Amino acid sequence: MRVTLSTWFLTIGLTIGGCDTVDVQNVDGGVGLFVDGADGDGPINDRARVGASTGSLLINVGNVSGASAPNRNEVIAFGRRRAPTRTDTPWTDDGDSFDAALGNQLQLPVTVWIVQGPFSEQRDHAIEACIRTAAIWDDERVGVRFSAFDIKNATNDPDIDGDILDSVGGDNRNWDDFSDEIGFDEGRINIYWINTVDGSSGMGWSDFGGRIVMGKNTVDTLLAHELGHAFSLRHPINCNNGPTADFDDSNVMWQCVSTEREFFTEGQVFRIHFNDESSVNALYNARAGEPTVDCIGSVANAECPDQLRRLWADGAFPAN
């Protein structure tokens, strides 16, 4: 076969191009990477790579160097039933290979206070919400799990009044009424199942820290949403304007009423683990000694991927 010079260069490029690799350990059924650095075309910001395997997986990340990289030279790895990890990668112009080990799922305890009875009915309601939340976390590679889901009966507490059972005020509600009058277990998120929140038995609210209130008729997926707020996540868009090219009511953090919440983006999962305001860090200290970042807003910056970034498709929304 006759091989032209241009064909020879193309063949060589396909064979040896992209000689930088990342060896990911602790893989359980697949891994995805965001790669930061630079190449001959300029800065690389969150270059996506995915692979499917179990155990250890060597992923080709392309030709990467550290020269003129405005962001960190690093790799962020995500995997099912694992906590994501950030690995410094001081790229050179030679062929580099770095190791990145996914972490174990972070184990987070919560306490549920059943304030509005009947107790047995609302206890079962809370358990169903727990099961649904855990399934979403697992399916979406969030890397956290409940280590305890303690349920306490507060339906007969004499200190509970109408202002607690039917709480109003949004961000301005008196959160101390819940922790002072009902109870509060330190070092964990406390969830109060009451009658109505801001006039609706199907609404919930989070103080973005250690307290969540839930109406008695909330759908099971709303707990994952309110816990997302505790993990520093905001609503991705103003849902009153309708779905966008990046989000609809299938995202867990959709603002308006939804029975379809099931997806987190990898940009959101990153914030759950690494944002300094996330309860994972600020309340649980579940990553003790590990660095945190300040993800201001939802867009990409030198520290954080854009919250709309996906390594895997979320329903109708493709990887981007």
In the predicted structure, residue 17 carries a pLDDT above the cut 70: no
CA distance 317 to 320: 9
In the predicted structure, residue 280 carries a pLDDT above the cut 90: yes
Phi, psi of 155 (to 5 degrees): -70, -20
Terminus-to-terminus CA distance in the chain, angstroms? 39
5-101 domain in CATH 2.60.40?
A: yes
Long-range contacts of 48-54 (CB under 8 A, 24+ apart): 48/309, 48/311, 48/319, 48/320, 49/22, 50/311, 50/312, 50/319, 51/24, 51/27, 53/27, 53/29, 54/27, 54/28, 54/29
Q: What sign has the CA pseudo-torsion 151, 218, 159, 121? A: negative
Instruction: Give the pLDDT score at 10.
Output: 31
Three-state DSSP class for residue 259: coil
Instruction: Give the pLDDT score at 6.
Output: 34
The string of pLDDT tens digits covering residues 104-124 is: 999 999 999 999 999 999 999
C-alpha distances in Å from residue 106, one per residue of 91, 136, 138, 291: 30, 15, 12, 16
Q: What sign has the CA pseudo-torsion 208, 114, 257, 162? A: negative
Q: Among residues of the chain, what percentage have pLDDT more than 70? A: 94
Q: What sign has the CA pseudo-torsion 247, 250, 252, 255? A: positive
In the predicted structure, residue 16 carries a pLDDT above the cut 70: no
In the predicted structure, residue 2 carries a pLDDT above the cut 50: no
Q: What is the mean pLDDT of the chain?
A: 91
In the predicted structure, residue 26 carries a pLDDT above the cut 90: yes
In the predicted structure, residue 21 carries a pLDDT above the cut 90: yes
Instruction: Give the pLDDT score at 18.
Output: 53
The string of pLDDT tens digits covering residues 167-190 is: 999 989 999 999 999 999 999 999
Instruction: Provide the token pair at 45.
Output: 């910001």
Q: Which fold has domain 106-320?
A: Collagenase (Catalytic Domain) (3.40.390)
Fold match flag (5-101 vs 106-320): no
Instruction: Give the pLDDT score at 3.
Output: 36
Listing DSSP states for 130-195 in one string gives HHHHHHHHHHTT--EEEEEEEEEE-TT-TT--HHHHEE--GGGS-THHHHHHT---TTSEEEEE-S
**For the chain, what are the domain ranges?**
5-101, 106-320
Task: Return the axis-axis angle of helices 119-139 and 222-230, rounded to nearest 10°.
Answer: 70
Q: Among residues of the chain, what percentage have pLDDT more than 90? A: 82
Section 248-257 average pLDDT: 96
The string of pLDDT tens digits covering residues 81-90 is: 999 999 999 9
Instruction: Provide the token pair at 246.
Output: 């990046």
Listing DSSP states for 265-310 in one string gives -HHHHHHHHHBTTSHHHHTS-TTTTS--B---SSS--SSS--TT--
